[in-house]
Amino acid sequence: SQQGEEDPQALSIQEGENATMNCSYKTSINNLQWYRQNSGRGLVHLILIRSNEREKHSGRLRVTLDTSKKSSSLLITASRAADTASYFCATDNNNDMRFGAGTRLTVKP
Amino acid sequence: SQTIHQWPATLVQPVGSPLSLECTVEGTSNPNLYWYRQAAGRGLQLLFYSVGIGQISSEVPQNLSASRPQDRQFILSSKKLLLSDSGFYLCAWSGGEGQPQHFGDGTRLSIL
């Protein structure tokens, strides 16, 4: 069963704008991970944030984690058309990985 | 570097037929291995995971089974497919608990 719930389900922005996606979960976690999926392909790991971390950066990606609110956000800055994809959060608790339904991001050139 | 191979890319099978999907990993030893199913426009549902040869954990009761005959080989099987087995099947590996997962390109299975 799914645990992470992404919000919004779909997001459409112009190239150059920032995109923010949110993820909420229900149970305790060891870490939370964000993945990207291009249509019809496998998922690609983007970033992992551990339960004792609050913020993490990787290039144009910024992830925050608030364990008190059981939520995380993924910010993509200065978006590009190539960022168009579905983005999933996944909670990890002792080898039990649970994925959300994803946010479909469209970046218009 | 590590690579993961999953095949076939697409498969069309009649209801009641058997299934065998194979996944192999190269460039690492003793990986954790996973099988997921993804319905259209949805997230991933974990079906099976394995932390070692012959060690299979099942997440969801179903007519599918998994086997790990070798360290870097993970097989998803069914004796008789149902219409509800249609979907996008993804294999993944990780270096262990709490590590990122690395996915194959998936198999799109259509049941007629």
Interface of A with B (CB under 8 A): 1-2, 4, 30-31, 33, 35, 40-45, 48, 50, 88, 90, 92, 94-102
* Measured distance CA(A47)–CA(A35) in Å, rounded: 7
Mean pLDDT (whole number) for B80-109: 94
Pairing label, strands B101-103, B87-94: antiparallel
Mutate one of A95, A96, A103, A104 to test the B interface: name it (highest B CB count within 10 A): A95
The mean per-residue pLDDT over the stretch A9-26 comes to 95
Q: What is the DSSP letter of B84?
A: G
Each residue's pLDDT tens digit, B2-38:
899 999 999 999 999 999 999 999 999 999 999 999 9
Q: Is the dihedral of CA A57, B28, A94, B91 positive or negative?
A: positive
Tell me the pLDDT band of A2, cut-offs 50, 70 and 90. Answer: low
CA-wise closest residue to A103 among A67, A76, A77, A78: A76
| Contacts with A45 from chain B: Cβ below 8 Å | 100-102
For residue B105, the chain A residue with the least C-alpha distance is: A42
Half-sphere exposure of A95 (CA within 13 A, CB side): 18
Contact B98 A33 (CB under 8 A): no
pLDDT band at A27 (very low <50, low <70, confident <90, very high): confident
pLDDT given at position B61: 65
* Mean pLDDT, range A34-54, rounded to an integer: 95
pLDDT at A96: 79
- A43 vs B contacts (CB less than 8 Å): 44, 90, 92, 101, 103
Cβ neighbours around A45 below 10 Å, total = 17
8 Å CB contact of A41 and B106: yes
- Which of A33, A44, A45 to substitute to test the interface with B, most B CBs within 10 Å? A45
CB-based contact B4:B93 (threshold 8 Å): yes
B90: nearest CB among A1, A42, A100: A42
Per-residue confidence band for A3, with pLDDT thresholds at 50, 70 and 90: low
pLDDT-derived band at A1 (thresholds 50, 70, 90) equals: very low
Query: Would you give the DSSP letter of residue A26?
Result: S
* Inter-chain CB proximity B100 and A48 less than 8 Å: yes
| Distant-in-sequence, close-in-space partners of A52: CB < 8 Å, separation ≥ 6 | none
Q: CB B42 to CB A40 under 8 A?
A: no
